[in-house]
Amino acid sequence: MSFERWKDTAIIIPARNEAERIGDCLTALAPQCNDRVHVILVVNNTDDDTAKIATAAAGRLGIDLTVLDLTFPPEWGSARHGGRAAPWPWNRCLICARS
């Protein structure tokens, strides 16, 4: 009998102009990411290098990352809508923190 593991958990990180912090965020998250975890970074209305820095950090840290680089209408105001609406079959955890 064989058992195939599936990625069954997605961590969704909404981000806007987070180039200075996204590397630290992914570094802190990396120890919790096993072979069942997929990270979705929803970058919205960003004019910095958030997506580029996150992609490089994820590669270095071994994180399975998808970047959704989106532009939302101003009345939406949040990347959370994009990540939650994405057609992913996994359980989801939404990280939404600002300091």
pLDDT in tens, 39-66: 999 998 889 999 999 999 999 999 999 9
The confidence score (pLDDT) of residue 94 equals 53
Q: Considering the entire predicted model, what is its pTM?
A: 0.72
- pLDDT of 73 > 60? The answer is yes
d(C-alpha 93, C-alpha 39), whole Å: 9
Average pLDDT, whole number, for the chain?
80
The confidence score (pLDDT) of residue 57 equals 98
CB–CB of 79/70 below 8 Å? yes
DSSP state string for 43-62: EES--SSHHHHHHHHHHHHT
d(C-alpha 45, C-alpha 32), whole Å: 28
The confidence score (pLDDT) of residue 35 equals 86
CB–CB of 79/16 below 8 Å? yes
